C-alpha cells in the first residue's frame, strides 16, 4: 500500500478528470467500447504524428506487444538480447519458445554492447532484441550492420524510449520494429498499454491481425493470433495524456538537472552522460554507487532512503540472467556478463516524476551526501 508523505520512484501523471468524463460520454453514446473504435483510430493517428513515425499499432500492454511482434515476424530459434532490462524483455522470448542468448552491456549507457554480439551468433540465431535502457539510444548503426551481414531481424524493446529522438529523428524508426510500453510507471502512461512502431505498412497490417486473434477478415485467420487490443476507454485516456506529455517531459528534465547539479562532487556517485544530439524523455534518474570511492554499499543507501520514507528502486537488479528461469543458460553465466553485473550491483534509480517537489530532491541528495560524509 502506498502511504501519504512517502516518496516513490515514480508517480503517474493523470489526465484532467472532467475532460476524461466528457470523452467517456461519447463512448456511452456510441456504445462502441472496443474493437478498433473511433477513439482507438484517433489515438493511433495522433500518436503517429506526435512520435513522427510511419505506422503504429496500439496494444493492451507492452509485454503482449513484444510477444506479438516476435510472432508476427516469425522469429524462432535463438535471439541475442540483454540481461540488463525488465524481465518482460526475456519472458516475451520464452513465451514464443525462443532461447534467449544474453550479451554483455556498455557501462556508459547500460545498453547491449554491439562489439560482443557477433561472437554469440549461431546457425539458430534469427534476431537481436536490444533495449534502449533509460531511454539511452542503442548504437543502432553497429547493430544494423551486424543484422544486415547475418540476415537477422532487430526488435527494439523501446519501453523507455517514448518520444526519444536522435539527430531530430525518432529512434523508434530503427530496426524492423520498436515496442513501446504505456504502463503506469512510464513517462507516457495509459494505465496499462503499449504499441508497436514500424516503417513497414504490411507488417503494421499483420500486427493488427495478430493482436485480434489473427483475424484478417470475418472468416480468415492468418496465424496464431492473440487478444492484445487496446479498448476505447483507454484510448480516450491516452488521447488526453498526449496533450500533457511535452509539459511533463520538460518538468522531468528540470528535476533531472537539479539532481545532476546537487549530486556533482559527491565522490563515488557516477551519473550517465547525455549524448548531445539526443532528445531524452527523462523517464528514470539512475545513479551508480561505486562502493570503494563512496565508502558505503548501494544497498545501505537504498535502506537509508527507505527509512526516510523514500522508495528508490534498483532497476535493473537482479539481472534477468540471474533469475531461476534463466540462470542455467550458458550465456547467463556471470563471467560472460561482467559489465552487466557491475551496473546491477551499483544502480539506484532515484524518484523522478513531473510533480516531484524540488525540496524533496534536495532532501534525497542530502541523505546521500550524509552517507558519503559519515564514512570519511
Ligand X SMILES: *Cc1c(COP(=O)(O)O)cnc(C)c1O
Q: Which residues of the chain form contacts with ligand X (CB under 6 A)?
A: 61-63, 85-86, 88-89, 131, 157, 159-160, 181, 183, 194
Q: Which is nearer to ligand X, 263 or 312 (CB)?
A: 312
- For residue 280, the minimal CB distance to ligand X (Å) is 16
CA distance 333 to 280: 33
- For residue 204, the minimal CB distance to ligand X (Å) is 20
What would you report as the CA-atom Rg of the chain, rounded to the nearest whole angstrom?
Answer: 21
E runs forming strands in 318-372: 347-350
Q: Which is nearer to ligand X, 178 or 181 (CB)?
A: 181
- For residue 202, the minimal CB distance to ligand X (Å) is 25
Q: Which is nearer to ligand X, 248 or 371 (CB)?
A: 248
- For residue 105, the minimal CB distance to ligand X (Å) is 13
Q: How far is CA 306 from the centre of its chain?
A: 25
Q: Which is nearer to ligand X, 173 or 283 (CB)?
A: 283
Q: What are the φ/ψ torsions at residue 149 (nearest 5 degrees)? A: -65, -45
- For residue 348, the minimal CB distance to ligand X (Å) is 17
Q: Which is nearer to ligand X, 131 or 287 (CB)?
A: 131
Output the nine-digit C-alpha cell for 338. 561482467
CA distance 295 to 285: 21
- For residue 118, the minimal CB distance to ligand X (Å) is 24
Residues in contact with 255: Cβ distance below 8 Å, sequence separation at least 6, in sequence order: 282, 285, 352, 353, 356, 358, 361
Which residue's Cβ lies closest to ligand X?
A: 62
- For residue 292, the minimal CB distance to ligand X (Å) is 30
252 within 8 A of 284, measured Cβ to Cβ: no
**Angle at 235 (CA atoms; ends 230, 236), nearest 5 degrees:** 155
Q: Which is nearer to ligand X, 11 or 38 (CB)?
A: 11
Q: Which is nearer to ligand X, 89 or 241 (CB)?
A: 89
CA distance 204 to 218: 19
- For residue 169, the minimal CB distance to ligand X (Å) is 21
Q: Which is nearer to ligand X, 58 or 131 (CB)?
A: 131
Shortest CA distance to 363 belongs to which of 322, 309, 324?
A: 309
CA distance 62 to 166: 23
31 within 8 A of 372, measured Cβ to Cβ: no
- What's the DSSP call for residue 215? B
Q: Which is nearer to ligand X, 85 or 96 (CB)?
A: 85
| Burial of 249 per CB tally in 10 Å (0-12, 13-18, 19+) | buried
Paired strand residues for 153: 127
- For residue 349, the minimal CB distance to ligand X (Å) is 11
Amino acid at each position: 500500500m502506498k502511504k501519504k508523505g512517502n516518496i516513490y520512484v515514480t508517480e503517474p501523471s493523470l489526465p484532467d478528470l472532467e475532460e476524461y468524463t466528457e470523452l467517456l460520454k461519447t463512448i456511452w453514446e456510441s456504445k462502441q467500447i472496443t474493437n478498433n473504435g473511433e477513439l482507438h483510430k484517433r489515438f493511433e493517428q495522433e500518436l503517429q504524428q506526435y512520435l513522427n513515425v510511419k505506422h503504429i499499432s496500439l496494444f493492451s500492454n507492452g509485454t503482449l506487444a513484444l510477444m506479438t511482434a516476435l510472432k508476427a515476424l516469425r522469429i524462432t530459434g535463438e535471439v541475442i538480447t540483454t540481461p540488463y532490462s525488465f524481465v518482460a524483455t526475456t519472458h516475451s522470448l520464452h513465451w514464443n519458445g525462443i532461447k534467449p542468448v544474453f550479451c554483455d552491456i556498455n557501462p556508459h549507457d547500460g545498453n547491449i554492447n554491439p562489439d560482443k554480439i557477433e561472437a554469440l551468433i549461431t546457425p539458430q540465431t534469427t534476431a537481436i532484441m536490444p533495449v534502449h535502457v533509460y531511454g539511452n539510444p542503442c548504437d543502432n548503426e553497429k547493430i544494423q550492420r551486424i543484422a544486415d551481414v547475418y540476415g537477422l531481424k532487430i526488435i527494439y524493446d523501446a519501453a523507455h524510449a517514448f518520444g526519444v529522438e536522435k539527430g531530430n529523428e525518432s529512434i523508434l524508426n530503427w530496426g524492423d520494429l520498436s515496442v513501446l510500453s504505456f504502463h503506469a510507471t512510464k513517462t507516457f502512461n495509459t494505465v496499462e498499454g503499449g504499441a508497436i512502431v514500424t516503417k513497414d505498412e504490411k507488417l503494421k497490417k499483420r500486427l493488427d491481425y495478430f493482436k485480434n486473434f489473427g483475424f484478417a477478415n470475418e472468416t480468415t485467420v492468418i496465424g496464431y493470433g492473440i487478444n492484445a487490443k487496446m479498448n476505447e476507454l483507454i484510448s480516450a485516456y491516452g488521447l488526453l495524456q498526449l496533450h500533457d506529455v511535452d509539459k511533463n517531459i520538460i518538468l522531468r528534465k528540470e528535476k533531472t538537472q537539479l539532481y545532476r547539479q546537487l549530486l556533482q562532487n559527491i565522490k563515488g556517485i557516477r551519473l550517465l552522460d547525455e549524448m548531445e544530439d539526443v532528445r531524452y524523455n527523462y523517464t528514470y534518474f539512475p545513479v551508480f554507487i561505486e562502493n570503494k570511492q563512496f565508502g558505503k554499499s548501494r544497498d545501505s543507501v537504498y535502506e537509508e532512503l527507505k527509512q526516510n520514507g523514500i522508495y528508490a528502486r534498483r532497476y535493473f537488479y537482479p539481472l534477468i540472467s540471474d533469475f531461476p528461469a534463466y540462470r542455467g543458460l550458458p550465456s547467463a553465466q556471470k563471467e560472460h556478463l561482467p559489465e552487466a553485473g557491475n551496473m546491477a550491483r551499483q544502480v539506484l534509480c532515484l524518484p523522478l516524476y513531473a510533480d516531484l517537489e524540488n525540496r524533496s530532491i534536495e532532501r534525497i541528495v542530502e541523505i546521500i551526501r550524509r552517507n558519503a560524509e559519515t564514512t570519511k
